[in-house]
Amino acid sequence: MPEFLKLVPPQQAVEQFLAAMPDPTPETISLETQFAEGRVLAETFHAPHPLPPFTRSSVDGFAVRAADTFGASPSLPAYLTIAGEIEMGKQAALAIQPGQAALVHTGGMIPTGANAVVMLEDTQTIRAGEVEVHKPAADGENILREGEDVATGEELFSYGTLLRPQEIGGLIAYGYTQIRVYRNPTVGILSSGDEIVPPGYEPGPGQVRDINSYTLGAMLRLHGADPRVYGIVHDSFDELESAVRRAFTENDMILITAGSSVSTRDITADVIDSLGSPGVLFHGLALRPGKPTILALAEGKPVIGLPGNPVSAIVSAGLCVLPVLRKLRGLGQVSFKAAVQATLSQNIPSIAGREDYLPVRLEHGSEGITAVPVFGRSNLIFTLVRADGLVRIPAAVTGLTGGSPVDVILFS
């Protein structure tokens, strides 16, 4: 069968593939909030009370009426009577009258009558019971008002929120110690090829260790999935079909990395087609490395065939697998991670009509960040080990010019 009769741009293929996928209905589980970082929230929270719950100081200093400090300077200080000290963790038991101040510590409650705090370093105590103020304070200066962060009833987090450390902190601030999150999707990983051996084996002539199962597994764990490695399958339709069907029944998504030969890729596509309709939607992307990628749906479940070369497999997985994984988790569509801007160190040629992804390492110098190409073939895993990220070369251009700004898609 003719190979890759029509190559589709990867972004177009992924968008169409995601649109063809049914909306997921992931199971939910209960977790302790402190261990839920990286999970996806399966419920919505509203604020039961304001945050901060009371007006408090953001510095160590004296709570004052701002008007009593206007015009104060080191040469002409304002003199205020010290009405007392606000104890930490307790209700402010005094009220500030005109001409008075109260010693308050960071986080302490602002007493009635005060509307600002003068920082301790802008004051001086000369006589007992009196403080000199050397700098005026504006209304609201150095205080956090009740509800300034969150108002009562405000939506805190909605279902589908990816829980980062700051979200964990926000939930804990309201006492939510147990929450419901979506179960991580399970992804079955199979490697096919007569030349592949397990990592604990000593490769013989013409053999290589299985890298893809473990690099892909690490990538999936990093992005919120539970990978299940099903081992190595020989280049046989029957053997591959049996292994794939088992993985298909036990997981939410299947990844198959195939050997380099055309016949091996055709076997993989035929096996995927046998799983159910609609089958293979895309076979071949306008992408380097990663052209042989297969995107398929079988009874609504995503099945993706990745190239056998490790660099190709990782690049293709970043572009195609991660957006699918995000949809399975109930998240939006992104691939890889955020990018940083750098200056390309040299001219890079490319072939128009396909997207190229060039591994680069980042060098920090006095003039900024430089992206230095890391050249190597797609079957050399240390090409990526030596790199910090990837530079995308658009399909419409024939290369990039040294000295031009580029966005580097970071690996981590």
- Residue 340's pLDDT band (boundaries 50, 70, 90)? confident
Q: Mean pLDDT, to the nearest integer, of 156-161?
A: 91
Q: pTM for the whole thing?
A: 0.79
Q: Which helix (H) or strand (E) holds 208?
A: strand 208-209
pLDDT band at 3 (very low <50, low <70, confident <90, very high): very low
Q: How many CB atoms lie within 10 A of CB 278?
A: 12
What is the DSSP code (8-state) at residue 355?
E
Q: What is the pLDDT of residues 249-282, one digit of tens each?
A: 999 999 999 854 555 667 899 999 999 999 999 9
If one counts every other C-beta atom within 10 angstroms of the C-beta of residue 293, the result is 28
Q: What is the pLDDT of residues 23-63, one digit of tens each?
A: 988 899 999 999 999 999 999 999 999 999 999 999 999 99
Residue 128: partners with Cβ closer than 8 Å, 6 or more residues away: none
Residue 379 has pLDDT above 70, yes or no: no
Tokens matching residue 377: 């073939």
What average pLDDT does this structure show over 173-202?
94
Structure confidence at residue 90 (pLDDT): 92
Which amino acid does the sequence have at 193?
G
β-bridge partners, 360: 373, 389
Name residue, tokens 């990395």: 257
Percent of the chain with pLDDT over 70: 94
- Position 4 scores a pLDDT of 47
Residue type, 255: L
Please give the Cα distance from 97 to 120 (Å, whole number): 20
pLDDT the model gives residue 316: 93
pLDDT score, position 336: 46
At 133 the pLDDT is 97
The mean pLDDT of 119-147, rounded to a whole number, is 95
| Cβ density class 59-98: b for 16+ within 10 Å, e for less | bbbbbbbbebbeebeeeebbebebbeebeeeeebebebee
| Distant-in-sequence, close-in-space partners of 205: CB < 8 Å, separation ≥ 6 | none
pLDDT, the chain, mean: 90
Q: Is the pLDDT confidence value at 2 over 50?
A: no
pLDDT at 339 (0 to 100): 79
- Mean pLDDT for 211-228 is 95
Whole-angstrom CA distances from 94 to 9, 42, 84, 88, 124 are 69, 45, 8, 14, 22
Q: Which residues contact 127 (CB under 8 A, 6 or more apart)?
A: none
Domains in the chain and their CATH numbers?
10-26+184-329 (3.40.980.10), 28-49+152-182 (3.90.105.10), 56-144 (2.170.190.11), 339-410 (2.40.340.10)
Write the pLDDT tens digit of every residue in 274-333.
999 999 999 999 998 889 999 999 999 999 999 988 989 999 999 999 999 999 998 865
